[in-house]
Amino acid sequence: MKFNTKVIHGGQHHDPSTGAVMPPVYQTSTFVQTSPGQPINPDYEYSRAANPTRSALENALASIENGTRGLAFSSGLAATDCVLRSFKAGDEIIAMDDLYGGTYRMFTRIYKDSGIKFHFIDMNDLDKFKSLINENTKLVWVETPTNPLMKLADIQEIAKITKENNILFAVDNTFATPYLQKPLDLGADIVMHSATKYLGGHSDVIAGALIVKDEALGEQLHFQQFATGATLGPMDSFLVLRGIKTLHLRVQRHCENGGKVVEFLNNHPKVKTVYYPGLPSHPYHEIAKKQMSGYGGMVSFTFVSGKKEDAIAFLENLKVFTLAESLGGVESLANHPALMTHASIPEEKRKEIGITDDLVRLSVGIEDAADLIEDLKQALA
């Protein structure tokens, strides 16, 4: 199947008992057994282990990312946590230096105390990356594009190195979505999504996902999920599955609107730098052209003045864009990373990687582009 067909039909089946086109919401915690240890359906005993609605979502996730196993979690951080539970004291993890604040907080404030050593680096410096690899290196974790600076990493080149050294390679594909980028096809072992964002697409659910190619790895991660309990409920699974069915249409419009917003901002006298992988001036534009089929709806920018006060005034004056955390919904959102999504990252670390106090991040929605540009124009004025 082509992708536009996969999001609707991939891994999906009509309900066998009723013929329902959409999977029912199996709002149940447990399932009948005919004799001890003999459930009516061998796949379903207790909903923490498996639930038919969640299974339908997980099959769809595997399909759209070209994986063999999908797992649905109660949040993106729960999905990340499941991967981290594979490692022990003394193990080392190499991660991108520009990460979602919650991921950075988990790595540095939860798992660092467990004895796992983290290295945060620019993943485009492949010589530096190679120099950090040793017998204790167990995982490489990247976001591409990153949150909020839109940095990219060359998935294929990193995958060659991880495979040579027998290291697991995980990619947070939240910003790109499988419509624009397929990390497993490029050599990654694990794909993570905050399904709260583009996969759900309607700002009405918190969810996470992992997708893998290797069946044994999928079974290991499922056991860790089952044993720790961070599963997605049936109603939330239904909502994400419903969102996936329009993913291709929504992301097309996000890309179209994103490009128009970028063009406007890039020519505005009060805007200093626009961070968007579709711009030829973007330092990683060639990587974006190589591994992405479009550039998405996430845009960040700074002000010529460099003043935090100008960023705050701009955000307070928006009318169509909503000032709120999160991203990837049908509505356009605006965010101040230093005060909102990345506040958990120490100030000196933010400055080191380029998250300045005048940085604004936009999640460009699917409204009429002319209205979005008019809103940006009046807020900048």
Give me the half-sphere count of Cα atoms (radius 13 Å) on the Cβ side of residue 141. 24
270 is catalytic: no
Token reading at 198? 């583009």
As a whole number of angstroms, the distance between CA 148 and CA 174 comes to 12
Closest CA to 296 of 119, 173, 120: 173
**Where would I find the H helices in 65-100?**
76-84
Tell me how far apart the alpha carbons of residues 299 and 313 are, in angstroms, rounded to a whole number. 18
- With H, G, I as helix, E, B as strand and everything else as coil, classify residue 30: strand
30 neighbors 45 (Cβ within 8 angstroms):
yes
Residue 148 preceded by cis peptide, ω within 30: yes
Residue 219 in contact with residue 249, Cβ under 8 Å?
no
Rg (CA), the chain: 21
Look at residues 249, 304, 250, 258 and name the one whose alpha carbon lies nearest to residue 277.
Answer: 258
* Annotated active-site residue in 100, 111, 198, 284: 100
| Catalytic choice (97, 154, 172, 236) | 172
Catalytic residue among 182, 197, 250, 350: 197
Does the annotation mark 172 as catalytic? yes
46 is catalytic: no
What one-character DSSP code corresponds to residue 106? Answer: I
The rounded distance, in Å, linking the Cα atoms of 75 and 196 is 7
Contact 272, 300 (CB under 8 A): no
* C-alpha to C-alpha distances, 248 to 146, 251, 253, 323, nearest whole angstrom: 21, 5, 9, 25
CA distance 107 to 101: 10
Of 346, 362, 344, give the one whose Cα is nearest residue 302: 362
Closest C-alpha among 149, 159, 102, 99 to residue 129: 159
Contact 337, 98 (CB under 8 A): no
Of 48, 138, 272, 290, which residue is the catalytic one? 48
- Give catalytic status of residue 100 as yes or no: yes
By annotation, the residues acting in catalysis are: 48, 100, 172, 197
